[in-house]
Amino acid sequence: MSTAKLTIDLTAIRANWRALNAKSAAETAAVVKANSYGLDATRVATALAEEGARQFFVAVAEEAPAVRKAVGQAVQICILSGHMQGDTNLIRDHNLIPIINSIDQLLLHVELLPNQPFGIQLDTGMNRLGMEPAEWQAVRELALRLRPHLIMSHLACADEPDHPMNEKQLQVFKDLTSDLTIPKSLSATGGILLGADFHFDLTRPGIGLYGGLPFSDAQSVVTVDIPVIQTRDVETGESVGYGNTWTAPVPRKIATVSAGYADGIFRRLGPAATLYAGSTACPVVGRISMDLIGVDVSDVETPTESLQLINETRGIDKLAKDAGTIGYEILTSLGGRYKKRYVST
Amino acid sequence: MSTAKLTIDLTAIRANWRALNAKSAAETAAVVKANSYGLDATRVATALAEEGARQFFVAVAEEAPAVRKAVGQAVQICILSGHMQGDTNLIRDHNLIPIINSIDQLLLHVELLPNQPFGIQLDTGMNRLGMEPAEWQAVRELALRLRPHLIMSHLACADEPDHPMNEKQLQVFKDLTSDLTIPKSLSATGGILLGADFHFDLTRPGIGLYGGLPFSDAQSVVTVDIPVIQTRDVETGESVGYGNTWTAPVPRKIATVSAGYADGIFRRLGPAATLYAGSTACPVVGRISMDLIGVDVSDVETPTESLQLINETRGIDKLAKDAGTIGYEILTSLGGRYKKRYVST
């Protein structure tokens, strides 16, 4: 049993949803795109539907059927990429709500599924998804006659509360929508934390559910335990791993553990990563390889069967910092090889 | 249909196996660990068994059943992590060959599965997997009485042909095994390219099968096509993507494409990545987000439904270089969301 273990705390995900829900008067949806940031959309959507979530967001139509199967017909599933060529059957068969991003998408939707609900995304300055203000003006009348389910936008800098872009996008969103009675949505996790002005009718938390910044009060969701395959003594001057990039400066005890970059432990981390035996830090030595990592366990007093890479006190954002990225990418990279265990406490 | 497409050329994988097989007089195995570097061990093992491969290597026991199911009983499946606590039933039920890495593993194996074949890995200086020379001396007699299937080691610097470590490990391997009649194996792809001295009885190519360096003559295996969701004109001074990290210096046409770091397109790539419309280079602008990337398509004359990130002329090693990593990690990171298409020509 040398497969690494990924433990996912569904109770923590529920608690994070409740905590974010409590921060606003708006309805709180749940973002389960990218297979719930790699943690399993079926499990997460089931748990959050029980908790009270009634709207779920996926990135692409192909992600929706698993969510629909998990949560049944009583909830709404929105597709952030909108209605693309080839999505029509999926949208109809699984009763999905495409969030329309362009005039082209609106015309396609109206032509192919005239009675199917849809939402609208407006671009308020991020220039990523959504209609430009001028596009919106051009199709506004047509769209409003069809009573969109939702009108939304997305903040580019919500993780930086003081960034002037937040107020700027808020103002553009208000200018474009203040006269509308359609439900409005602007904020994901970061926007929820910016305060009530940003909440409107529906919030769409993602990363906060999964225990990541910018929701610093989030409960930790993920634990990664990696089995030790063998331990050896290396003498001064011996090297460990590919390319001989690490050489023992003094005699050391080195464990080889059974995970690597194929498990989303980025190769560039190398010695920037630390594993833990209880509270004892065990630095990575040498290069991370595909399935294996060398770890200095000289300070570990009792031999251990596994080491932890991510746990409650050293979470995804700590590892992200070491890797020069963000907690989101740590989660989505964990990959399919782990033995996954879902716990509810 | 906004899911990105990953096309895997099984004919190229077969050709690469044949080409590496032709480079040595040794038997040529196939390394299919990490789900065949992310490309699907079932498909790859099936193709390579048809091509003539008779030995397959996986990293951990849990990876073996899918391979066994694909290739039947007539081939051998070796487990590089050896025989770990909890592996015994898998090894017995699927008739696997653990590559024993330590005295502890040897004792466990002999106690629990005394009649089950096994191999031996020796450490010749990489200090990652395998018995130290002193350990081997201690159990050599016991092990040899049981007639191991294979005795192997692994090179730490085979990707650097001039590295003195190669000759050093070769010499250690010879010193430890020259008097043995058991089949011997030292080389993966890099070692095959080092020449006949390194080939022994069995070679174990991995990355070369999948089209990556150091096998520079490999045929390209992977193509990644990413659908365009929408295209917009941005004016001078407008920003694109999270954090406003890119601002248009002049008016530009920006496509938003439907893939991101959840699809293994490393966030750190950012503007270092380039997508292609035919032969027209389209640079990434701004940050790569989880499901979306902004791309400058100003130079594309005819609107295109998708852009390519990886293709025959711009392969995994080009992308790896841009990302500061190696082709191996590009492959294993591609992830589960792609619509996968396997082609045989």
- Binning pLDDT at 50, 70 and 90, where does residue A250 land? very high
The rounded Cα B65 to chain-centroid distance in angstroms is 19
Same domain? For B202 and B231 the reply is no
Same domain? For A203 and A332 the reply is no
Asked if B85's CB is within 8 angstroms of A261's CB, the reply is: no
Mean pLDDT of B49-57: 98
Q: Which residue has the tokens 């009485």?
A: B145
- On the question of pLDDT at B168 being above 90, the answer is yes
- Binning pLDDT at 50, 70 and 90, where does residue A1 land? confident
Same domain? For A67 and A200 the reply is yes
Indicate which CATH number applies to the domain containing A118. 3.20.20.10
pLDDT in tens, B199-251: 999 999 999 999 999 999 999 999 999 999 999 999 999 999 999 999 999 99
- Binning pLDDT at 50, 70 and 90, where does residue B1 land? confident
The pLDDT mean for chain B works out to 97
pLDDT in tens, B328-341: 999 999 988 999 99
Query: Quick check: A99 and A80 in contact, CB under 8 A?
Result: yes
- Binning pLDDT at 50, 70 and 90, where does residue A335 land? confident
Give the 3-state secondary structure of residue B96: coil
Q: Indicate whether A1 belongs to any domain.
A: no
Indicate which CATH number applies to the domain containing B256. 2.40.37.10
Question: Alpha-carbon distance B219 to B222, whole Å?
Answer: 10
Query: Quick check: B264 and B234 in contact, CB under 8 A?
Result: no
Q: Indicate whether B216 belongs to any domain.
A: no
- On the question of pLDDT at A23 being above 90, the answer is yes
Question: Alpha-carbon distance A200 to A212, whole Å?
Answer: 23
Of B86, B163, B243, the CB nearest to A157: B243
Question: Alpha-carbon distance A307 to A318, whole Å?
Answer: 16
Strands of the sheet containing A151-152, edge to edge, are: A30-31, A55-58, A76-79, A97-100, A119-121, A151-152, A184-185
Query: Quick check: B295 and B307 in contact, CB under 8 A?
Result: yes
Report residue A146 as tokens. 């069809």
Contacts of A64 in chain B (CB under 8 A): none
Same domain? For B29 and B60 the reply is yes
Q: What angle do CA B156, B159, B163 make, to 5 degrees?
A: 70
Burial (CB < 10 A; 0-12, 13-18, 19+), residue A278, is exposed
Report the number of distinct structural domains present in chain B: 2
Q: Indicate whether A286 belongs to any domain.
A: yes
Give contacts of A 176-205 with B, CB under 8 A: none
Find which of A2, A5, A87, A157 to mutate to test the B interface (most B CBs within 10 Å of its CB): A2
Query: Quick check: B103 and B140 in contact, CB under 8 A?
Result: no
- Give the whole-number percent of chain A exceeding pLDDT 90: 97
- Give the whole-number percent of chain B exceeding pLDDT 90: 97
Q: Which residue has the tokens 């130290």?
A: B132
- The pLDDT assigned to B274 comes to 97
Mean pLDDT of A151-165: 98
pLDDT in tens, B143-163: 999 999 999 999 999 999 999
Mean pLDDT of B292-313: 96
DSSP B208-245: GGGT-TT-TTPPP-EEEEEEEEEEEEE-TT-EESGGG-
Give the range of the structural domain holding residue B336, as residue numbers without chain letter.
222-343
Contacts of B159 in chain A (CB under 8 A): 242-243
What's this model's pTM, rounded to 2 decimal places?
0.97
Same domain? For A184 and A256 the reply is no
Task: Note the ipTM here.
Answer: 0.97
- On the question of pLDDT at B345 being above 90, the answer is no
Q: Indicate whether B250 belongs to any domain.
A: yes
Give the 3-state secondary structure of residue A128: coil
The Cβ of residue B69 has, within 10 Å, a number of other Cβ atoms equal to 12
Give contacts of A 77-136 with B, CB under 8 A: 80-82, 84-87, 101-102, 104-105, 123, 125-129, 132
Assign residue B141 a region (left: φ > 0; alpha: ψ between -120 and 50; beta: otherwise): alpha
pLDDT in tens, B112-123: 999 999 999 999
Query: Quick check: B271 and B285 in contact, CB under 8 A?
Result: yes
Mean pLDDT of B316-320: 97
Last residue within a domain, chosen from A176, A210, A244 = A210
Same domain? For B305 and B206 the reply is no
Last residue within a domain, chosen from B182, B210, B238 = B210
